[in-house]
Amino acid sequence: MYRFEDVRYRDILNIDRLTIHENLVTSIVGPSGSGKTTFIRLLNKLISPDKGEITYKDKRLMEWDSVELRREVVMLPQQPAIYSGTVKDNLLKGLLYSEREPVSDEVLLEMLESVKLDKDLDDNAELLSGGEKQRLALGRVLLMEPEVLLLDEPSSALDDKTELIIIEEVVEYTRRNNKTLVMVTHSNRIAEDFSDLIIRISPDEPVQIREVSR
């Protein structure tokens, strides 16, 4: 699905060759400041490499229309945007952006249950806690049903128990729907337990790629 050839980004990333396959769960791990977030930002053209070529579905990334690409490859940052309005308004924002039809309140409530967010649809989204906002944004992204889901520390604001539940839900969604998940995680345990492929990024060292036996 993704191929990197001689990709360089400033003094942060230096990747000779790398392939990310579709319909798999790939974790990006490494110390703080090693370039993990930079790596996934390259995948939907939020930034562009200084050198080299990245292809997605055998098409050079720079040839993709940015809006079209980001409707198919959706990124959830570590501190996602929460819009003024209700929980329902925020859930529907992603569908509006991706030009998909709105869904029923029943579907929205099922999504809230999936991401373990015990809130009413008419609750004020801006009054949610940090962890609740993170789960709301994740629900918004999952409703878009992207081909590729990019998550940057998707559970950083959650306690350990909730973190495990949310990661399990996202991974199950990915496998059930034959989607592709690429996530940055601080947790080696989560990477080992849920990933098909682990990419380790470290300063001044080549990128290491390892398949996880299941």
Residue-level pLDDT at 163: 86
Residue-level pLDDT at 4: 97
Boundaries of domain holding 73: 2-211
**How many Å apart are CA 55 and CA 113, to the nearest integer?**
36
Domain containing residue 151: CATH number: 3.40.50.300
The pTM for the full model equals 0.94
Residues 121-165 have pLDDT tens digits of: 999 999 999 999 999 999 999 999 999 999 998 877 788 888 888
**Tokens 């390259």 label which residue?**
42
Which of 159-198 are b and which e, b meaning 16 or more Cβ less than 10 Å from the residue's Cβ?
Answer: eeebbbebbebbbebbeeeebbbbbbbebeebbeebbbbb
Q: How many CB atoms lie within 10 A of CB 38?
A: 18
C-beta of residue 111 within 8 angstroms of C-beta of residue 139: yes
Q: Which amino acid is at 16?
A: D
Count of structural domains within the chain: 1
Residue-level pLDDT at 214: 64
Using a 10 angstrom Cβ sphere, with 0-12 exposed, 13-18 middle and 19 or more buried, the burial of residue 139 is buried
Q: What is the pLDDT along the chain (214 residues), one digit of tens a residue?
A: 999 999 999 989 999 999 999 999 999 999 999 999 999 999 999 999 999 999 999 999 999 999 999 999 999 998 899 999 999 999 999 999 999 999 999 999 999 999 999 999 999 999 999 999 999 999 999 999 999 999 998 877 788 888 888 899 999 999 999 999 999 998 889 999 999 999 999 987 889 999 997 6
Tokens matching residue 129: 């806690």
